C-alpha cells in the first residue's frame, strides 16, 4: 500500500512528483506529501486527505528544486493526519524519506534511537528510517542507507534524500515494489510504472536489496556490498493512455467496458481453433505434471474468487484434486506442500504481500509455482517457475473487474492445457470449449449494452442496508465475487451463500423486503436453486436473478430477471459477473460513493 515517487533531473520536481503520485493514488489516499531539496535545504509539504489537498497547498506555497521524493499514503501505523504523512525526516531536517511497507521492528529501533538522543514526532514506523540513516551517516549516504536497512525488518520500498549530499537520491526495496525510470538526463523512482510513463518507457525492475544511486550523471545499481549490478532495461510497450480515464466518468466504468478487449487479449494466440494451446512462459512438461498429486490455488480477494472457479474447472477438466485458499490463511496453517505440489498463485498486481509469502514458502518446500498475474515484471512473475500473464492492461480502479475475468480465462486456458497433457478431455470437447471461449468477448459486449435494467434496479435499491447473493456450484463462486464488489463499492452489507446452506442458518436473516440476488447458469443445479429461491420468497425476499436468454420461466419466481447470452456452464462466470459488477457500480454512483477509491481500501496490499 502507499505509493512512492522520486525525481532527479533539470526540471522542477514538484509538478513531476505530483503527477507521478496521481498515477499511484490507487495505492492509498489518506494523505500525500513531497520533500524537495531547495538551496541546500529540504522543504516538505504534506497534508492529510487526497492528493488534491497537497496540490492546493503547493499552489499557495510553491517549492522550487529539481530533486525530490513524494508519497501517497494508506495508513498502517498512526491515523491519517498531517504529522503522520510522509515524507518523514530526522530531527535536524537533513534527511528525508518516503516509505511503502511496514518496518516490523520499528518499536525496538525507536526505543534504541531514543536512548541515543533521537526524538520522534509521529506515530509511524517510517520515522525510524531517516533517524537510522542519520545515525549511520559518516559522510556517505549510500553507506548509511545500506547500514540502516541492515537493521530494518519487514517490507519496504524507500526513497531517501539528504542535504549532506544534495545531488543524490538513494532508493531500495525489500518485499515492496519499486521501479526506476531512466530518461534523458532525468531519473525517476516509483512504486509502479504508470507513474513515470509520461517521461520515459525505459525501466529497471529492481530485485530486493538492490540499492539505487541517482545523480545527475546517471543511475547506478549496487548490491549491499556495493558491487555494481548490471541489469537490462525493460522497455514498456503499452500505452500511457491505458492508465488514463479516456473520457469516462471514472476508471471503474472504463475498466468494466474494457472487458471484451481484455478477454480477447488474454486469449489471443493461446486459444486458436484446431491448434494446440500455446503458453510460452509455462515449461511444465507432461512428465512433471504426472508427478503432481495436488494443485493449490492461493490468492486474496477477487483473485481468490477466480481461484474458486479455477478449482471447479481444473478438477472437472484435468481430474487433479485442487485446494483453494486465501493467502493470509494458507501461509500460517502449515499446508502439506511438497515436491508433488503445484501451487498456482493468482494476483493482478503480482505484489500482494501474503500471496508473495505463500509463493516463497512453497518454493522452499519444493513445490513448483505457477503465477497468474497482470503485471509484467512483478514480484510473483519473477519468482515463479511458470507465468501465465493476464492481458487486462493496467487496472487502476481499486475494485477489480477486468482483471477478474481475465483470471477466469487464465484458469480455463491452464485447465485445458493440462487436460491436454493428461489426456483427460476428448478432442471434440476441447475444441467445443475453445470455440465457446472465443465467443465470450462478443457476449460480454452484448451484456454491457443492456444496462438499463440494472440501472433501474440500482436506483430502486441503493438505500438498502443488506443484500444477499445466492448460488450453487460456479454460481456460488460468482456470488462471492458479486458480494465483494457490492461491499467495497457501495458499503452495503452483503454476504454470499451457497444455495444449499441456507437452511443451515442464513435463512434466519431473510425478512419482508430483503434483497436477494441469484444466478441460474448451472443447468444441472437450476431447479434446485429455484427451490432455494422459493424458500426465501416465501419469507418475503425480493429476488433478482441472472438467467440465460430464453429461460423466461424463471420470471414466475423472481421479481426481476437480467438475461445473459447462453454459454457452457463452466464458462458462465465470465458472463454472469458482468451485470453484477454493473449493479455494484450503479448502486455506488447512486449513493454518491467514490467508486475508484472506496473508503479504507487501497489497490495493492503490499503489507500483511
The nearer residue to ligand M6R, 97 or 345, going by C-beta atoms, is 345
Dig out the grid coordinates for 198 from the structure. Answer: 509520461
Least separation in angstroms between residue 398's CB and ligand M6R is: 5
Phi, psi (rounded to 5 degrees) for 433: -65, -45
- Kindly tell me which of 398 and 437 has the beta carbon lying closer to ligand M6R: 398
Q: Which helix (H) or strand (E) holds 471?
A: strand 466-471
Contact 110, 124 (CB under 8 A): no
Count CA atoms within 13 Å of residue 578 on its CB side: 30
* Dist CA 64 CA 434 (whole Å): 58
Cell digits of residue 408: 477466469
**DSSP H stretches of helix in 213-285:** 251-257, 259-267
Nearer to ligand M6R, 347 or 362 (CB): 347
Q: Point out the residue whose Cβ comes nearest to ligand M6R.
A: 301
Annotated active-site residue 300? The verdict is: no
229 alpha carbon, distance to own chain's centre = 29
Burial of 550 (0-12, 13-18, 19+ CB in 10 A): exposed
Looking at 254, 434, 597, 603, which residue is catalytic? 603
> Catalytic residue at 603?
yes
Place of cell 480455463: 412
Q: CA geometry: angle at 349 spanning 328 and 129, to 5°?
A: 75
| Minimum CB distance to ligand M6R smaller for 191 or for 348 | 348
List all residues 6 or more positions away from 114 whose beta carbon is below 8 Å from its beta carbon: 120
- 65 vs 101, which CB is nearer to ligand M6R? 101
Q: How far is the CB of 395 from ligand M6R (least distance, A)?
A: 8
Q: Which one from 2, 46, 174, 485 is the annotated catalytic residue?
A: 2
The answer for residues whose C-beta is within 8 angstroms of residue 505's C-beta and 6 or more apart is none
Nearer to ligand M6R, 400 or 514 (CB): 400
Pick from 467, 462, 401: nearest CA to 591: 462
Residues 6+ away with beta carbon under 8 Å from 491? 591, 593, 598, 599
> Is the CB of 187 or the CB of 586 nearer to ligand M6R?
586
SS3 of 101-158? EEECCHHHHHHHHHHCCCCCCCCCCCCHHHHHHHHHCCCCHHHHHHHHHHHCCEEEEE
Q: Minimum distance between the CB of residue 484 and ligand M6R, rounded to whole angstroms?
A: 6
The residue whose grid cell reads 465470450 is 440
Write down the least CB distance from residue 23 to ligand M6R, Å: 16
Residue numbers at the binding site for ligand M6R (CB under 6 A): 300-303, 347-349, 352, 355, 398-400, 484, 488, 604-605
Residue listed under C-alpha cell 500482494: 352
Question: In angstroms, what is the minimal distance from the CB of 604 to ligand M6R?
Answer: 6
Length of the chain: 608
28: left (phi over 0), alpha (psi -120 to 50) or beta: left
User: Cis ω on the peptide bond leading into residue 87 (within 30° of 0)?
Assistant: yes
Q: Judged by CB, which is closer to ligand M6R: 57, or 487?
A: 487
Please give the Cα distance from 222 to 168 (Å, whole number). 14
Q: Is 533 helix (H, G, I), strand (E, B) or coil?
A: helix
**Rounded to an integer, what distance in angstroms lies between the CA atom of residue 536 and that of residue 527?**
15
CB of 304 to ligand M6R, least distance (A): 7
Q: How far is the CB of 378 from ligand M6R (least distance, A)?
A: 9
Helices 402-422/572-591 angle, 10° precision: 170
Tell the smallest beta-carbon distance from residue 192 to ligand M6R (Å).
Answer: 11
CB of 545 to ligand M6R, least distance (A): 23
Q: Which is nearer to ligand M6R, 318 or 372 (CB)?
A: 372
- Shortest distance, position 260 Cβ to ligand M6R, whole Å: 19
Residue with cell 491515523: 79
List, in sequence order, every residue forming a beta bridge with 35; answer none if it has no partner.
Answer: 44, 69
Active site residues: 2, 603
Amino acid at each position: 500500500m502507499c505509493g512512492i515517487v522520486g525525481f532527479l533531473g533539470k526540471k522542477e520536481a514538484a509538478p513531476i512528483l505530483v503527477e507521478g503520485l496521481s498515477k499511484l493514488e490507487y495505492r492509498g489516499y489518506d494523505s500525500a506529501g513531497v520533500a524537495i531539496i531547495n538551496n541546500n535545504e529540504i522543504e516538505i509539504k504534506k497534508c492529510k486527505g487526497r492528493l488534491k489537498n497537497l496540490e492546493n497547498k503547493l499552489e499557495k506555497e510553491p517549492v522550487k528544486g529539481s530533486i525530490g521524493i513524494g508519497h501517497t499514503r494508506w495508513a498502517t501505523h498512526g491515523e491519517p493526519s498531517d504529522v503522520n504523512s510522509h515524507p518523514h525526516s530526522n530531527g535536524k531536517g537533513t534527511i528525508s524519506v518516503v516509505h511503502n511497507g511496514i518496518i516490523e521492528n520499528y518499536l525496538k529501533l525507536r526505543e534504541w534511537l531514543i536512548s541515543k538522543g533521537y526524538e520522534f514526532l509521529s506515530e509511524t514506523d517510517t520515522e525510524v528510517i531517516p533517524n537510522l540513516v542519520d545515525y549511520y551517516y559518516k559522510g556517505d549516504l549510500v553507506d548509511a542507507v545500506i547500514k540502516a536497512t541492515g537493521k530494518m525488518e519487514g517490507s519496504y520500498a524507500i526513497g531517501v534524500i539528504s542535504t549532506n549530499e544534495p545531488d543524490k537520491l538513494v532508493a531500495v526495496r525489500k518485499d515492496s515494489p519499486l521501479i526506476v525510470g531512466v530518461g534523458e538526463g532525468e531519473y525517476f523512482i516509483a512504486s509502479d510504472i504508470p507513474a513515470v510513463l509520461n517521461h520515459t518507457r525505459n525501466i529497471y525492475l529492481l530485485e530486493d536489496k538492490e540499492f539505487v544511486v541517482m545523480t545527475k550523471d546517471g543511475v547506478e545499481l549496487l548490491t549491499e556490498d556495493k558491487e555494481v549490478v548490471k541489469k537490462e532495461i525493460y522497455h514498456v510497450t503499452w500505452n500511457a493512455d491505458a492508465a488514463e480515464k479516456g473520457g469516462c466518468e471514472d476508471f471503474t466504468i472504463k475498466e468494466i467496458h474494457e472487458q471484451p478487449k481484455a478477454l480477447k487479449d488474454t486469449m489471443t494466440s493461446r486459444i486458436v481453433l484446431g491448434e494446440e494451446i500455446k503458453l510460452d512462459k509455462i515449461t511444465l512438461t507432461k512428465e512433471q505434471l504426472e508427478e503432481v498429486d495436488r494443485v493449490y490455488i492461493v490468492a486474496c480477494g477477487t483473485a481468490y474468487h477466480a481461484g474458486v472457479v479455477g478449482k471447479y474447472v481444473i478438477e472437472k477438466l484435468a481430474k487433479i484434486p485442487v485446494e483453494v485458499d486465501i493467502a493470509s490463511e494458507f501461509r500460517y496453517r502449515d499446508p502439506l506442500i511438497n515436491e508433488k505440489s503445484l501451487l498456482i498463485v493468482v494476483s493482478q498486481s503480482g505484489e500482494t504481500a501474503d500471496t508473495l509469502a505463500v509463493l516463497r514458502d512453497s518454493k522452499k518446500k519444493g513445490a513448483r509455482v505457477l503465477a497468474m498475474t497482470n503485471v509484467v515484471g512483478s514480484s510473483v512473475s519473477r519468482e515463479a517457475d511458470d507465468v501465465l500473464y493476464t492481458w487486462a492492461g493496467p487496472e487502476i480502479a481499486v475494485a477489480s473487474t477486468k482483471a477478474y475475468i481475465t483470471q477466469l480465462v487464465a484458469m480455463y486456458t491452464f485447465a485445458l492445457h493440462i487436460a491436454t497433457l493428461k489426456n483427460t478431455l476428448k478432442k471434440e470437447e476441447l475444441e467445443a470449449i475453445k470455440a465457446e471461449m472465443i465467443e465470450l468477448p462478443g457476449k460480454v459486449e452484448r451484456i454491457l449494452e443492456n444496462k438499463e435494467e440494472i440501472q433501474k434496479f440500482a436506483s430502486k435499491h441503493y438505500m438498502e442496508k443488506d443484500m444477499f447473493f445466492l448460488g450453487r456450484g460456479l454460481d456460488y463462486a460468482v456470488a462471492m465475487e458479486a458480494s465483494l464488489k457490492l461491499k467495497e463499492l457501495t458499503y452495503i452489507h452483503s454476504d454470499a451463500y451457497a444455495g444449499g446452506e441456507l437452511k443451515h442458518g442464513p435463512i434466519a436473516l431473510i425478512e419482508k423486503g430483503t434483497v436477494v440476488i441469484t444466478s441460474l447458469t448451472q443447468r444441472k443445479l437450476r431447479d434446485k436453486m429455484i427451490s432455494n429461491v422459493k424458500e426465501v420468497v416465501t419469507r418475503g425476499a425480493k429476488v433478482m436473478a441472472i438467467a440465460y436468454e430464453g429461460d423466461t420461466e424463471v420470471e414466475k419466481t423472481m421479481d426481476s430477471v437480467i438475461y445473459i447470452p447462453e454459454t457452457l456452464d463452466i464458462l458462465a462466470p465470465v458472463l454472469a459477473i458482468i451485470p453484477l459488477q454493473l449493479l455494484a457500480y450503479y448502486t455506488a454512483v447512486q449513493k454518491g460513493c467514490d467508486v475508484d477509491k472506496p473508503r479504507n481500501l487501497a489497490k495493492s496490499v503490499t503489507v500483511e
